[in-house]
Amino acid sequence: MMTNNGGFQSNYPSNQGGYNSGGGFYNTQPNNLQRSQTYTPPSPYPNYPPQQPYVPPPSPYQHTNTYMPPQPQMLPPQQPYPNPPQPNPYPPQQPPAYGRANTYMPPEPYTNPPAYPPQQIPYPQPQLPPRANTYIPTVPLPQMVSNFNPEQDCQILHNAVHGAGTDERAIINIIVNRNYAQRAEIRRCYKSCYGKDLIKRLKEDTSGNFKDVVAAMFMTPAEFDAMCLYKAMKGLGTHEGVLIEIIGTRTSQQLMEIKDAFQREYNESLEKWVKGDTSGNFRNLLIALLQCNRSMNPNPDPNMCQQDAQMLYNAGEGRWGTDESTFIRIFANRSPAEMAMINDCYTRLRGKGLLKAIDKEFSGDIKKLLETVVGGLVDPAGYFAQRIREAVKGLGTNDSKLVRVIVSRSEIDLGLIKRAYQTMYGRDMLNDVRSDTSGYYKEILTGLISRCP
**Could you tell me the domains of the chain?**
150-217 (1.10.220.10)
List the end-to-end C-alpha distance of the chain, in Å, as a whole number.
179
The set of residues, in sequence order, having a beta carbon less than 8 Å from that of 119 and lying 6+ positions away, is: none
* Span 164-187, average pLDDT: 92
CB atoms within 10 A of CB 339: 24
- Asked if 263 contacts 269 with a C-beta cutoff of 8 angstroms, the reply is yes
Q: What are phi and psi of 343, to 5 degrees?
A: -65, -40
- Which pLDDT belongs to residue 330? 96
The set of residues, in sequence order, having a beta carbon less than 8 Å from that of 342 and lying 6+ positions away, is: 305, 308, 309, 312, 330, 334, 354
* Span 121-129, average pLDDT: 33
Q: What are phi and psi of 88, to 5 degrees?
A: -65, 120
Q: How far is CA 249 from CA 3, 40, 229, 385, in A?
A: 166, 141, 13, 14
* Span 308-317, average pLDDT: 94
Q: How far is CA 131 from CA 82, 136, 296, 401, in A?
A: 61, 10, 13, 22
Q: Is pLDDT at 72 greater than 60 in this prediction?
A: no
For the whole model, what pTM was predicted?
0.69
Instruction: Specify the pairing of strand 25-26 against strand 18-19.
Output: antiparallel
- Which pLDDT belongs to residue 125? 34
Q: What is the DSSP letter of 67?
A: -
- Which pLDDT belongs to residue 438? 95
Output 19 or 221, whichever has higher pLDDT: 221
Q: Is pLDDT at 8 greater than 50 in this prediction?
A: no
Weakest mean pLDDT among 77-81, 162-166, 391-395: 77-81
